[in-house]
């Protein structure tokens, strides 16, 4: 009798799950990840020895891993707090360009000069991510008002290029790249930034062309970040053969793929619905070096 009651109860639970699943399936327009992959990597029960499943590993694949030593953490936190106060003033004056520039003149100049490496400007632009047009105004002010005393750094230009690229202003991104180049600031982060802009705006051929230009440079060379951007560019257009050729080049150069390299590959395989290759890449990522 107890077994029969249990079976009825189980049937009701399964029925609820089935109805819920059907409602969810009605919104799906693309094939889901294969059941075998889900069974092996997501739905496994804990091992008898108490070890955790690989679910946290999959979640961490698409979350940034970071860790700094205590001194660096404190230093960055102090910088964030200082810049946050300036950011609040900038946002408060978002509707009045004249007052915005006055706030930057009165509060920004002294702060930015204490960080000649450009980290304060980069931090301000980062904190203004929810207000991209304000960030553009700050960048414009920086180019005009401070450059004579504290020249803009590669990092500032790279951040500016990414910001205007996200606003789909590719021409301004190219202008910033050329401006930095004319100041002899050509460096790998600058190329990476513009390649990211091209990728974001679907200009894969221009991204690839800039990559070849970087390879011709004598003062800087492609980094593993550069190759990750290139892989992402090819993956978005399902150019799997180009993506895999890029991976082979990474290996030939003895560069160590990072977790971001594998994320780019996996995203490309998912876009192309190549589930077996996606799973294989995931397994290689788990077992191989280069997890940073």
User: For 95-113, how does the pLDDT look when each residue is reduced to its tens digit (9 = 90+)?
Assistant: 888 999 999 988 888 899 8
What whole-number distance in Å separates Cα of residue 176 and Cα of residue 189? Answer: 13
Q: Residues near 219 by Cβ (< 8 Å), separated by ≥ 6?
A: 186, 187
Per-residue pLDDT at 196: 96
**Cα separation of 9 and 222, whole Å?**
61
Q: Using the 8-state DSSP alphabet, how is residue 94 labeled? A: T
Q: Are 263 and 60 in contact (CB under 8 A)?
A: no
277 vs 210: CA distance, rounded Å = 28
Min mean pLDDT across 25-29, 40-44, 287-291 is at: 25-29
| pTM, full prediction | 0.71
Backbone φ, ψ for residue 131 (5° rounding): -125, 70
CA count, 13 A, side-chain hemisphere, 234? 22
Cα 233 to Cα 118: distance, rounded to the nearest angstrom:
29
Instruction: State the pLDDT at residue 284.
Output: 86
What CA–CA distance (Å, rounded) separates 248 from 229? 15
Q: Is 178 exposed, middle or buried (0-12, 13-18, 19+ CB in 10 A)?
A: exposed
Mean pLDDT in residue range 128-138: 93
21 against 236, higher pLDDT: 236
The predicted pLDDT at position 286 comes to 84
Question: What's CA 163's distance to the chain center, in Å?
Answer: 13
CA angle 249, 252, 255 (to 5 degrees): 85
Reference 137, options 128, 149, 147; nearest CA is 128
Report residue 211's pLDDT band, with 50, 70 and 90 as the boundaries. Answer: very high
Q: What is the pLDDT of residue 17?
A: 39
124, 87 Cβ separation under 8 angstroms = yes
Quote the tokens at residue 266: 């996996």
């Amino acid at each position: 009798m107890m077994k029969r009651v249990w079976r009825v109860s189980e049937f009701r639970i399964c029925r609820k799950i089935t109805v819920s699943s059907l409602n969810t399936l009605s919104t799906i327009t693309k094939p889901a990840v294969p059941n075998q992959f889900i069974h092996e990597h997501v739905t496994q029960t804990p091992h008898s020895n108490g070890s955790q499943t690989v679910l946290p590993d999959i979640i961490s694949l698409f979350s940034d891993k970071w860790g700094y030593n205590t001194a660096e953490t404190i230093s960055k936190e102090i910088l964030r707090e200082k810049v946050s106060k300036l950011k609040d003033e900038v946002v408060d004056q978002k509707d009045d360009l004249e007052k915005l520039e006055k706030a930057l003149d009165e509060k920004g100049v002294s702060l930015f000069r204490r960080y000649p490496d450009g980290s304060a400007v980069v931090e301000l632009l980062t904190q203004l991510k929810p207000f991209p047009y304000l960030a553009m105004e700050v960048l414009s002010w920086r180019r005009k008002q401070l450059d004579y005393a504290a020249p803009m750094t590669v990092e500032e230009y790279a951040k500016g290029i990414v910001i205007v690229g996200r606003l789909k202003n590719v021409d301004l991104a190219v202008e910033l790249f050329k401006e930095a180049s004319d100041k002899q600031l050509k460096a790998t982060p600058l190329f990476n930034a513009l390649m990211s802009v091209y990728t974001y705006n679907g200009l894969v051929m221009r991204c690839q062309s800039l990559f070849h230009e970087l390879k011709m440079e004598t003062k800087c060379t492609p980094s593993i970040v550069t190759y990750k951007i290139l892989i992402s560019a090819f993956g978005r257009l399902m150019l799997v053969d180009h993506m895999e050729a890029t991976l082979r080049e990474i290996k030939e150069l003895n560069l160590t793929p990072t977790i971001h390299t594998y994320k780019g590959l996996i995203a490309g395989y998912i876009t192309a619905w190549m589930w077996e290759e996606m799973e294989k890449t995931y397994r290689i990522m788990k077992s191989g070096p280069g997890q940073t």
